[in-house]
A and B are shown apart, each in its own frame.
Chain A
Amino acid sequence: MTNITRRTLLKAGAALGTVGALGGHHASAQEMGPYERQLYEAAKKEGQVTWYSGQLSAEPGEAVGQAFAERYPGLKANVIRSTSQVAFQRLSQDLRARTPQCDILSSTDSGHYSFLKREGLLMKFRPKNADGMIEAARRGDPDDTFQICYFGLYLMGYNTQKVSAADAPKSWTDLLDPKWKDQIAIGHPGYSGAIGIWALMMKQMYGADYLKKLERNKPQIGRSSMDPVTLMNGGERAIGIAIPSATTLLSMSRGNPLKLIYPTDGTVATPAPTAIIANAPHPNAAKLFMEFATGPEYSRVITRFFNESLRPEVPPPVGGRPLNEIKLIMPTMAEAEKGVPEMREVWRDVFGV
């Protein structure tokens, strides 16, 4: 947890309001610049790009894949959506078998990238579009091995038919109140990267005992961080914690009786990287995809599904609070790389799964 990142983020939030033609390359579907066209031509020979994605949920993920294929006819994006740890597990299986399958990895566990970078498993590439992104996302990695393409907010929500606004928990510590026994749902850090980050933040703020105390309330454990949202929709559980704001807002927009809670002790933010794997089987298509993911079209698609915009010219999603009004908390990448695997073990000892 560092103040510097938080300040950077707040600036980022402010930047969201301003519309700026910041330098860089703004190619539209009709006219491609020579650079983009050249990359496109090279990519077309490869025909496809395989994207292991643990950040966006299945529906926006597919929409991004479709938008990419529409903008670049002749190219196809294989969107392999899973939880981040499962995506990383599959990548590890590829690497272990020395049979490259994956071009692009998008994970909510930033620790994955410090590891991959150190092992020389990431391709160095700076998308030209990155210069036009919001400030906080502009330089994810000084060495350009990865790029921030996802800004996840993980907070709490409740089913309004089961809990009143006055009763609803306000902070992460409120969840330890015995009155929430058998009411809470959460994902699993062995699957979701974001839950690992969340658990790490809880440990940093409230000590290792936080999870043990939470266990007294017997939260229902799923796999993905999004799982509690569907549990709340169905009324199976009243409160979902460490849930992504985007999935919840999308669900609310479809008429489900949910409401978001921005915890007073901090919303967990995961500025999450996307990177090209060093031995990517489709390197040019991968580069083109990185340009796409840092460009405005991608932000336009994902904000339709209530994800945060990464471009100043694309307005933030409706319904959520602006970033500069929220208290954000996050670990550093080094903390994440060391802490998340540790928290996975702690979690399994505390909860038994």
Chain B
Amino acid sequence: MTDTTAPGAAARTASLAARLRNVEPATLLWVALAAVLLVLVAYPLGKLLVVSFETRGTGAFTVDNYLTAYGRARYVEALVHSLELGALAAAIATVLAVPMAWAVSRTDMPGKWVVWIAVLGAFILPPFLAAIGWILLAGPNAGFINQVWRWATGASAPLVNVYTFPGLAAVIALHSFPLVFIFVKSALDLVSSEMEDAANILGAGTWSATRRITLPLVLPAIVGGTIVVFLETIALFGTPAIIGIPARINVVTTQLWQFFEYPVRVEVASAYAMPLLGITVVMIIAQRLLLARKGFVSQTGKGGERRPIRLGPWRWVVFAWCALVGLLAVALPMLVLVQASFAKGWGRGFSFDNLTLSNYEYLLFRHEMAIQSIWNTLLFSSLAATFAAALALLVAYIAGRRLVPFSGALGFLAMAPFVIPGIVMAIGFYAAYAAPPLALYGTSIIIVLAFTARFLPIAYANSTAAIRSVHPEMEEAARILGSGRLRTIARITAPLIRKSLLGGWLLVFIVSARELSSAVFLVGPKTLTMAVLIYDLSEAGNFEVVAALGGLMLVITLALVAVGTRLVGRDFMLRRE
């Protein structure tokens, strides 16, 4: 395509047409996809890097932004806080999730559905809503748990306080433990009972066999899941903004927000974001290396018998643990949020005279922006899901079938956003596309682009798995019968993997609909989303109305999950890849 500069316009057109006729459509597609991925991923990231070395206004090269970003003790402290918070949240999440994964995968524990509900529920509940739920539960004075505690014991000190460092970490862990659960459970599913049997024969009891044999076998998966929670935590914006300010904890993401105060210091923010990006990249590589270790017999795929371990009376202890996590992660926060959304004053508790519909009435009939934000959310999420699914399918197809050289590069670009924290990506998009000539700031386009890019890895992983499941021979049959490549994809491949695609679509839709961190710098007055409106409303602490808007968001999400479950199957949200 680069050497089409033949002399003579007519000759050139003829030769170009001739060439185009002979070009494998996949090559053209490759070029088109590469261009799209450059716009979505490479350019905003590159821009971020460039801007971090620019002087504001003039654009001259400077390292001052880095000096400003790390020149104050407070800013460096925020980075340290983020790392500590990530480590603590990841540790708590691991403690919560590993027993659950083990119980579901390896034992005869009753009521395994409870775990599935807990895991699904924690995934569905947006982090910032869980945070508000926990403020209502564990506020030191008025939180329901503390009210009950004082009533029951007569104590004056609170039992739990959400506005502390451990409180913040626990709230984060309670909604991110499913990540560890999914990793560890799928690893445990591959461990055969024979190895435990061997340990038992040599005299080890169930516990020591589990401790000495089973868990070490899945250690890479545990560490892998822990790393993902760590990364999720340091990239999180909503929860630290809502709980962290009263708790006096400043973290990287809330500090990045401060650099957007007047005067908007995109340059300093970019410089400040670089370590976050660096840490994420290093951790992801470490996680990949860990999970890629092939030294474990359990992963040879030679089969082997799998029997559930009989726990006897202990099975109720294990069940109690799972139920407790489900209660804390999903049931209690949802319960108080629903209560608050129908309450005149949430602190007044459950009573008939405290019931009202006015919070919903206010949002639906007297709040112009609330309705608009619901439509915006539905529109942006469905567009982003559609673009991400289509893009991911094509890239996964080209990469999976190795149709052109360097198809791996496309796959790499499609996965790259996985290592970019949402708020960092938003700064990159702001730096790259907000200003003229494109002037996309405040438009729907910039948000749809950002959501598409941010969640492309989810759609891509989903499509890759789906493409792998289709043997090329069916496509080859169509090709032999004269069908072109694109026609083959449209008529053979896509219908075969329709369910998986739909699952991926829904997944991207759901995570886009609640996305806060990448939306918060990109929305304009006409493109407000529900997540950002909830964040705005939460400023004034009006939890009843916030809970009602959250309730509307949950209704929408649950409806989609129901559709997904019916069409795709129960585990469409929980597959590891």
Contact = CB atoms under 8 A, between A and B. Distances in A.
Nearest to B527: A101
B525 interface: yes
A209 interface: no
A235 B140 CA distance: 10
Most buried by A among B142, B245, B545: B245
A97 B246 contact: no
A79 B442 CA distance: 15
A235 B250 contact: no
A50 interface: yes
Contact of B248 (A191, A221, A237): A221
B139 A97 contact: no
B48 to A, nearest CB: 15
A78 B435 contact: no
A101 B248 CA distance: 33
B539 A99 contact: no
Interface string A224-246: 10111111011111000000000
Contacts of B140: 182, 236
Contact of A80 (B244, B369, B539): B369
A98 interface: yes
A62 B366 contact: yes
A304 to B, nearest CB: 13
B362 A59 contact: yes
Interface stretch (B198-206, B261-269, B558-566, B568-576): B261-269
Given A99-B441, A221-B246, A235 B347 contact: yes
Given A76-B368, A94-B524, A353-B245, A234 B264 contact: no
Given A59-B362, A65-B368, A101 B525 contact: yes
Nearest to B258: A190
A136 interface: no
Contacts of B152: none
A235 B142 contact: yes
Interface string A122-161: 0000000000000000000000000000000000000000
A98 B139 contact: no
A106 B543 CA distance: 24
Contact of A234 (B163, B263, B345, B368): B345
A57 B540 contact: yes
A59 B368 CA distance: 11
Interface in A214-264: 220-224, 226-231, 233-237, 247, 254-256
A89 interface: yes
Nearest to B248: A352
A96 B368 contact: no
B543 A230 contact: yes
Contacts of B275: none
Given A92-B263, A96-B266, A353-B249, A222 B441 contact: no
A93 B141 contact: no
Contact of A254 (B142, B344, B368): B344
Contact of B540 (A58, A76, A99, A353): A58
A224 B539 contact: yes
Interface string B137-164: 0011111000000000000000000010
A88 B263 CA distance: 10
Contact of B264 (A96, A236, A256): A96
A81 interface: yes
B539 A92 contact: no
Contacts of A171: none
Nearest to A78: B525
Interface string B400-442: 0000000000000000000000000000001000111001111
15 contacts: A62-B368, A78-B368, A78-B526, A92-B261, A94-B524, A182-B140, A220-B246, A223-B538, A223-B539, A224-B539, A227-B539, A235-B142, A235-B347, A254-B344, A255-B344
Interface of B: 74, 139-143, 163, 244-246, 248-250, 254, 258, 260-264, 266, 344-347, 362, 366-369, 430, 434-436, 439-442, 521, 524-526, 528, 536-543, 545
